Amino acid sequence: MAPLPLRELQSRLRALIVDPAALASSPDALASELAALSIRGDARLSAVERVRVYATMYALRLRDALAHDYLALRRALGDAAFTDLARSYVASHPSDRPSLRDLGRHLPAFARRHPELLEPWQAELAQLEWAMVDAFDGPDQPVLSAAHLEALPPDAWPELRLEPVGSLVLLSCASPVDALREQLLAGQDVSDVAREPVRLRVWRQEMAVFHRRMDSTEAAALCRIAAGTTFAELCEWLSEHADTENAAAEALRLLGRWIDDGLLVAPQN
C-alpha cells in the first residue's frame, strides 16, 4: 500500500484522535484505517493503543485548559459533568488559535445555548470567569488620575469624553454570581440559587483583576461613558434619572470612584 500524502495522513489521524467514537468503530474498519495510515503496533503496544495515547491526552489536555479558566464552574458542576461539558464544547468549538488561553472564549455563549448542560446561573458564572481571564492579560494602558483632571481647564469639562480601560466588562446577571463564585472557590456547596439580580464590573488595575457590584446608576453611567457620552451629557442624564439633587456632585463622586479603581484611560498628549 502506497503511503498517504502528508496532508491526508494528518487529516485522517486527527479524526482518530479527536473523535472518541472513531477508536470505538469495528475492529476490522479500524485495522484497515491504521494500516492505511501505516501506523505500526508491536508487542509493547498495538497500533490502536498507540493512537489511543494521543486521543486520551487530547481530551485531558483541553478539559484541563478549560478547568484552569473556569475553576468555579468546574466546582459547581463536579468533575464528571465538567468533563462532559468540555467534551461537548470542544467538539462544537475546536481550537483554532495558537494558544490554549483562547480555547474557552466561546464557552459563555455555548452555555447560554445549551440549557440542558448548564443552569442559567452557571452560564452567568462562566461569563464572569471569562471576563476575568480576558482582563488578566489584556493590553496595558495608562490610567486617568486626579492630576489629569486638575490640569483640565474649567471650560473643557462639559465636552470631556472619558474612555474606560479596555479590560472593563460590564455584566448584568440574574443571580449573584460573584458571591456564588467566592463560595465555590472556598469549597462550599452551592444549591437552591436564588434569583437576585446584580450588576458587575470586571477590570484589571495594574496587575490584579477585580470585580465589583454596581448600583443601577453607576452601571448606566458607565454604559454611557463607554458609548462616548460627554461629561455634560452625563450630568444631564444623572439630573433626570439618578436619585440626587446635585447631578454634578454625583458625577464627580462616580468619577472619583472610577479614578480610584483605575477604570478610565489617561488622555493622550
Give the residues lining the site for another protein (CB under 8 A). Answer: 3, 5-7, 9-11, 13-14, 17-18, 37-40, 42, 44-45, 47, 49-51, 53-54, 57-58, 61-62, 65, 94-101, 103, 135-141, 166, 204, 207
Residue whose CB is less far from another protein, 18 or 248: 18
Q: What is the largest CA-CA distance in the chain?
A: 85
Residue whose CB is less far from another protein, 61 or 241: 61
Nearest to 128 by CA among 78, 182, 89, 165: 182
Shortest separation between residue 257's beta carbon and another protein, angstroms: 23
> Cβ contacts of residue 40 below 8 Å, gap of 6+?
47
Shortest separation between residue 108's beta carbon and another protein, angstroms: 20
Distances 12 to 28, 52, 112, 234 between C-alpha atoms, Å: 16, 14, 32, 59
Shortest separation between residue 54's beta carbon and another protein, angstroms: 6
Shortest separation between residue 264's beta carbon and another protein, angstroms: 17
Residue whose CB is less far from another protein, 112 or 211: 211
Residue whose CB is less far from another protein, 8 or 159: 8
The C-alpha cell of 215 is what? 448600583
> Cβ contacts of residue 266 below 8 Å, gap of 6+?
141, 142, 143, 144, 145, 148
Shortest separation between residue 163's beta carbon and another protein, angstroms: 16
Distances 53 to 18, 47, 48, 58, 223 between C-alpha atoms, Å: 12, 10, 9, 9, 49
Residue whose CB is less far from another protein, 33 or 124: 33
